Amino acid sequence: MRHARALATARETGIFLAFVLVLVVTTTKNPAFLFSNDGFRDLLLTPATLILIAVGEAIVIITRNVDLSVGSTIGLTAYLTGYLFKTAPDIPWPVVILISILFGGLLGLVNGALVAFAKVPSLVITLGTLYAFRGINVLWTGSNRINASDMPRGFLALGTAKLWVIPVIAIIAAVVLIAAAWYLRNTRGGRELYAIGSDPDAANLYGLRVTRRILLAFITSGALAGLAGVLYTARYGTVDSQAGYGLELQAVGAAVIGGVAIFGGSGSVWGAAIGAVLLVTINRALPVLGIQDFWQQAVVGLLIIAAIILDRVLALRTAKRLTVLTGEQA
């Protein structure tokens, strides 16, 4: 009973219902959107990359920071993955995956160290690395392109493989999501991330290891972007210098739509993941519904603004309720 009520009032439920609405309306118009093999596969497969980086982004935003460099991190790690296959074909492909994830984590460490030690706002730092990482990427790649023929078959199979009817990539995203949600909810480290975002000064007074936690949040975000870069390569089988371009704003958008407060301290990775699914599905649904291309971005923008207004209204309502409660208590 208590659980049912908590579920009904959870911020994530609203977003999920919005997703269901989009799905039902679109499927009514064109049943193949859900009930064809391709339709069902795409529904699960296309949001996977965005889910991964939205989870990382949510973790960073919860600590009252932001990571704008994830798109560029995907670009670098995706190219690194292809580059290793091409130049060092002897390395087994699972090791290549591991190297790319670690490299993503290293890029995250660069962000985190600059934020935590240099005490510069993360918005500025990661805006810088957004351009710096992409610049390095373009320098390194030039006009080269790595193609499917350069990559081992086992690795490429990852992009299309299914477990029963579910794409393996979607399963990977789901596993990461569940692990992150579990960590944030059930461990001291996870709760401390919320505490730090809620009031950084108080966190210092409590003796929480603020610097270390913020470093870890950025490393996680970078590593998840690294994993997303690997899966991008596996799925599309071709990489140039523009992989992941612009995804950072989609990640931030997904987190905000999913109810992660932009000033930190509240929200969940579930919300961010559902936000990611909603964003991607809307983008796919609009053409089916016959809405012109250039409306799509406007719809995403409206969604973000609606989410923020909803949060504000809910916060005011809670504040009012709490005031009345306190009044009765006195």
Partner 1 sequence: MSPAPAAATPAHALELRKVVKTFGAVVALRSGTLALDNGSIHALVGENGAGKSTLVKIIAGLYQPDSGEFLLNGEPASFSSTAQAKAAGIAVIYQEPTLFPDLTVTENIFMGRQPLRSLGRIDRKAMHSEAIALFDRLGVKINPDRPARGLSIADQQIIEIAKAISLDARVLIMDEPTAALSGVEVDRLFAVARSLRDEGRALLFISHRFDEVFALCDVVTVMRDGSYISTEKIADTDVDTIVRQMVGRDVSELFPKQETTVGEVLLDVQGLSTAGVFQDISFQVRAGEIVGLAGLVGAGRSEVARAVFGVDRYDSGTVIVQGRRVPGHDPAAAMRAGLGLVPEDRRKQGLVIGTSVARNLTLAIRNQLSRAGIITDRAENAASRIWASRLEVKSAALDTEVGTFSGGNQQKVVLAKWLATEPKVLIVDEPTRGIDVGTKAEVHRLLSQLAGEGIGILMISSELPEVLGMADRVLVMREGRITAAIERKDATAETVMYAATHGGHDGSAKGGAAA
Distance CA 84, CA 304 (A): 38
Which of 263, 262, 266, 231 shows the shortest CA–CA distance to 247?
231
Which of 276, 308, 269 shows the shortest CA–CA distance to 56?
269
Under the binding rule (CB under 8 A), the answer on residue 270 touching partner 1 is: no
- Min dist CB 259 to partner 1, Å, is 12
Under the binding rule (CB under 8 A), the answer on residue 16 touching partner 1 is: no
Nearer to partner 1, 74 or 269 (CB): 269
- Min dist CB 327 to partner 1, Å, is 5
Pick out residues in 181-240 that bind partner 1 (CB under 8 A). 186-188, 191-192, 194-195, 197-199, 201-209
Instruction: Provide the angle, in degrees to the nearest 10, between the axes of the packed helices 48-62 and 70-87.
Output: 130
Q: Of residues 71, 222, 244, 265, which one binds partner 1 by CB under 8 A?
A: 265
- Min dist CB 293 to partner 1, Å, is 39
Binding mask 234-263 for partner 1 (x = CB under 8 A): ---------------------------x--
Under the binding rule (CB under 8 A), the answer on residue 118 touching partner 1 is: no
Pick out residues in 46-85 that bind partner 1 (CB under 8 A). none
Under the binding rule (CB under 8 A), the answer on residue 119 touching partner 1 is: no
Nearer to partner 1, 292 or 326 (CB): 326
Nearer to partner 1, 39 or 189 (CB): 189
Residues that bind partner 1 (CB under 8 A): 186-188, 191-192, 194-195, 197-199, 201-209, 261, 265-266, 318-319, 322-330
